[in-house]
Structure 1
Amino acid sequence: MGKQTLVLENIEKSFKDGDRINHIVKNLSFSVNKGEVVAVIGPSGSGKSTFLSIAGALLSPDKGKVIVNGENISSFSDVEKANIRLNHLGYIFQTSNLVPYLKVEEQLSLVLKMAGKWSRGEKLKIKELLKAVGMDHRAKFFPQQLSGGEKQRVAIARAFVNDPEVILADEPTASLDPNRSMAIIELISKIVKEQNKSAIIVTHDEQILPLCDRVFVKKDGKLIEQERNVKYEKVQ
C-alpha cells in the first residue's frame, strides 16, 4: 500500500425535493490507496450510491475536489470526465450488464476498442484476464449461456481489462448467493493485491467485510471509518 489513487476533499452534494433541500453529502473527505480494498456500508437512502457516483466521475459535486491518480478532475468537461472513466476507472454493478449479442471475450475487447487500445497483443491479455477470473473456458460463450456468478466474473474481468487505477463496485454481490458472494469479493481482492490497484465496494453484505482492508459507514452525509475490532453497525 502507499500512493493514494483516489482522493475526495470536502465534498458537498445536495438535491432539491420540492421545497426541501436534502444534503446527501456533507463536507466528506476520503481516500483509498494502491493495493487496498475499502467497503462502504450504511442504510438504504444514506447516499452510498451518490458517493460512489461522485468518486466515479459520473456525478459532479456541488463543492470540493475529486482527485484521480493525482489529477483534480472537478472542473473537467463531460468529455474529459468520460476519458477518465474509460482509462482510469473500472466499474462493477449489481447486475453484470453484459452486451447480450457479444461473446465473453468480445465483452472485454469492446472496452479496449473504445479506448483505442486494441491490437493483436491484447488478445493474450484478455485470455490471461479471463483465466484469472476462471472464465477462460467460456471465452466463446454468450451471456445467456452463463450462470449469474459466471456473468459477474466476466464483469470483473471487463472492469480490469483497461488497466484502471481504481475499481468502483456498487452492490456487486446483491444478486448472488452467500458462497458466490464471498468468491466474487475474494476474486476482486486478489486481483487488486496482485496488480496493485484500489477498490471501493458499496455493499449491504456484511459477510464480505472481513475481506476488506477498511470499512466505512455512510452516515449523516459523511463517511465514518469503523474500527476492525468492533461490531459493524447494522446494515439495513
Structure 2
Amino acid sequence: MFFGRTPQLPTAEQALKGRPAPAFEVPDRHTVLGNPLLGPYPEGLEVADFGLGCFWGAERKFWQLPAGVWTTLVGYQGGHTENPVYEEVCSGLTGHTEAVRVVYDPKLISYDRLLKTFWESHNPTQGFRQGNDVGTQYRSAIYPHTPEQAATAEASRKAYQKVLTGSGYRTITTEILPAEGRPFYPAEAYHQQYLDKNPGGYCGLGGTGVKLSDPSGTNWGASCPTGVEPAPVDGDR
C-alpha cells in the first residue's frame, strides 16, 4: 500500500471522519476466559492498553498469562477517526494502532508483569512496523490509565532500552501517551480471540529475545509463557 514510502500518521484534519456509533456489535464474552469483554468491569480490576503489532497474536500473549488477567479484547486506539472499522484502520487514514485491552486483578498480577510481557513479546524499535507487517497501525504503544501506570511504563522503557542497547538494538520507538482522550474502540467480532478460534492462524509477532530487568537488576516477574517465536527480521538490529 505504501509503495516503498515510509508510512505517515495523518493529522486530525487529514483523518477519516468516522461515525457517531459503532458499525458492528462486539461479542459478550471471552472465548477462553469466559468473562465479559466490555465494561463496566468488577470493582477492584484495572485496565491496561498496549499496541505491539498485529493484535491477533498480541492478545494471546496476555490471555495466556497464568493468573490475574480477567479479560482481554482487541481494538483500535491512538488515532482520530471515531468508531473506525478494520478496513479504515488498515488504510492508514485513521491514525489508530492495533491495540489490546487487558483487564486485570492487581492483587494477582502487577502492571510491571504486564509490561514485561509487552516488551518481551515484540520488537519495540521498528517504528511503523512489526516484523513483516508494515503500517502505522502496527506501531508500538502504551496508553496508561493512571499517573502510576505512566510512571511505571516510562521506567520500564528506560530499563529495557538499556538492555536492548547492550544487545545491539536501536532506540525504542514505543509511544507512551495517556489513555485519556484516546478512546479504545473494540474491533470486529471476528478479530476477538482470533487465534483461539483459528489456532493455525497468522501471528507475526517476534520478540528480540532480550529479557527485561528493572534498573536495580531484579527480574520484572516470571518468564513469559513458553512457545516458538519467529526469528527477528533481518535489519532489526
Considering the TM-score relative to the shorter chain, is it more than 0.5? no
Larger radius of gyration: 1
Structure 1 or 2: more strand by fraction? 1
Pairwise TM-score range, normalised by the shorter structure? under 0.3
Give the TM-score normalised by the residue count of structure 2: 0.27
